[in-house]
Structure 1
Amino acid sequence: MEPLPIDALVVVADGEGARVFRNRGERGNVSLHQYDLLELVNMNDDGPAGSMPGESSSRQIDEATFAKQLATGLNSAALKQQYEHLVLVADPTTLGRVRRLLHKEARQRLVAELGKDMTNVPLEGIERTIMAR
Structure 2
Amino acid sequence: MHKIPADAWIVVADGTHARLFQNVGKQNHLQLKQSDLIEPDMDDEQGQGPSGQRPPEATPDQTEEATFAKQLANRLNAAALKHQYEHLFLVADPTTLGEMRPQLHVETSKRLCGELAKTLTNTPLEEIEKILQAQD
Q: Output the TM-score relative to the length of structure 1.
A: 0.94
* Percent identical: 51
Residue 16 of structure 1 corresponds to 16
Structure 1 position 3, deviation (Å): 3.0
1:23-74 CA-to-partner distances (Å, cap 9, x unmatched) read 0111211110001000011345121013654121111100000000000000
Aligned partner of residue 66 in structure 1, secondary structure: helix
User: In 2, Cα distance between the equivalents of 1:92 and 1:2?
Assistant: 18
Change (3 A) 1:44 1:35: closer
Residue 48 of structure 2 corresponds to 47
Change (3 A) 1:2 1:89: closer
Indicate conservation of the 8 Å contact 2:77/2:108, yes or no. yes
Indicate conservation of the 8 Å contact 2:19/2:36, yes or no. yes
Indicate conservation of the 8 Å contact 2:69/2:99, yes or no. yes
Residue 64 of structure 2 corresponds to 62
Residue 76 of structure 1 corresponds to 78
| Counterpart check, 1:4 vs 2:10 | no
User: In 1, Cα distance between the equivalents of 2:9 and 2:44?
Assistant: 28
- Report the AA paired with residue 69 of structure 2: A
Aligned partner of residue 89 in structure 2, secondary structure: strand
Aligned partner of residue 61 in structure 2, secondary structure: helix
User: In 1, Cα distance between the equivalents of 2:104 and 2:76?
Assistant: 8
1:102-123 CA-to-partner distances (Å, cap 9, x unmatched) read 0000000000110000001111
Aligned partner of residue 82 in structure 1, secondary structure: coil
**RMSD between aligned residues:** 1.4
- Report the AA paired with residue 35 of structure 1: S
User: In 1, Cα distance between the equivalents of 2:22 and 2:105?
Assistant: 21
Structure 1 position 2, deviation (Å): 5.2
Aligned partner of residue 83 in structure 1, secondary structure: coil
Segments of structure 1 that go 5 or more residues without pairing to the other structure are none
